[in-house]
């Protein structure tokens, strides 16, 4: 981008460029130069908006975590409709079909990024922690509606679902799993507590 030409919403352009790089080339490809080249801007643009590259990455992760909040509300609103397994399968496909798996890899690969995220109040493994809370919230709503057993341990079911489905998506270079494979994991995990026909 020529000097003197303003970028509209530079932060979002830089975040989108980093996300494309992360999805295409993995965490090791993320450098400030790679991000600004992908965004089509001068390297100084990134440093004008962020203290350093790790600050940029922390803001990227927090921004993408924020998007899980919208998914949480939509999933919770689906309680009592469709099937529990179908709702969970759809939510997990949407979650892990996004940049979530790549973000987990990024966080795991960068010590300084994890430290900054902890300072920002993010506990556990960012994205996975928020995703687990999303699933637990939904399962609690379904338990209150009687669609899963009153004694269902949602605090165990939620991380079990997140971990099992994350493993299906974890191979960044492989073909993402189809809904049927995710649905099979979901129905297996919730089989003992669901009070309705499975998928």
Average pLDDT of the residues in 120-138:
86
* Residue limits of CATH 1.10.357.10 in the chain: 68-190
Q: How far apart are CA 89 and CA 19, in angstroms?
A: 24
Q: Which DSSP symbol is given to 196? A: S
DSSP H/E element including 114: helix 111-119
Long-range contacts of 149-156 (CB under 8 A, 24+ apart): 149/192, 149/193, 149/194, 149/195, 152/193
Per residue in 59-112, pLDDT tens? 999 888 888 888 899 999 999 999 999 999 999 999 887 778 888 888 888 888
In the predicted model, what is the mean pLDDT of the chain? 88
Higher pLDDT, residue 196 or 65: 65
Correct CATH for 68-190 of 1.10.40.30, 1.10.357.10, 2.40.50.140, 3.90.1150.10: 1.10.357.10
pTM as predicted: 0.81
Phi, psi (deg, nearest 5) at residue 30: -80, 110
Per residue in 12-51, pLDDT tens? 999 999 999 998 888 888 999 999 999 999 888 998 999 9
Class of domain 1-49: mainly alpha
Q: So what's the pLDDT on residue 169?
A: 87
* Residue limits of CATH 1.10.10.60 in the chain: 1-49
């Amino acid at each position: 981008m020529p000097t003197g030409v303003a970028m509209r919403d530079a932060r979002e352009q830089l975040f989108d460029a980093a996300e494309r790089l992360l999805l295409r080339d993995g965490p090791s490809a993320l450098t400030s130069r790679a991000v600004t080249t992908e965004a089509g801007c001068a390297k100084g643009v990134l440093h004008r908006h962020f203290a350093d590259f790790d600050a940029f990455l922390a803001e990227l992760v927090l921004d993408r975590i924020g998007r899980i909040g919208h998914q949480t509300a939509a999933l919770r609103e689906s309680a009592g409709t469709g099937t529990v397994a179908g709702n969970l399968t759809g939510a997990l496909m949407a979650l892990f079909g996004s940049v979530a798996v790549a973000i987990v890899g990024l966080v795991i690969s960068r010590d300084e990024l994890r430290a900054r995220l902890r300072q920002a109040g993010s506990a556990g493994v960012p994205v996975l922690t928020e995703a687990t809370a999303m699933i637990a919230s939904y399962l609690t709503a379904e338990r209150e509606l009687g669609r899963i057993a009153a004694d269902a341990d949602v605090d165990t079911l939620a991380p079990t679902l997140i971990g099992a489905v994350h493993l299906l998506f974890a191979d960044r270079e492989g073909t993402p799993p189809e809904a049927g494979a995710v649905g099979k994991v979901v129905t297996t995990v919730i089989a003992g507590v669901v009070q309705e026909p499975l998928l």
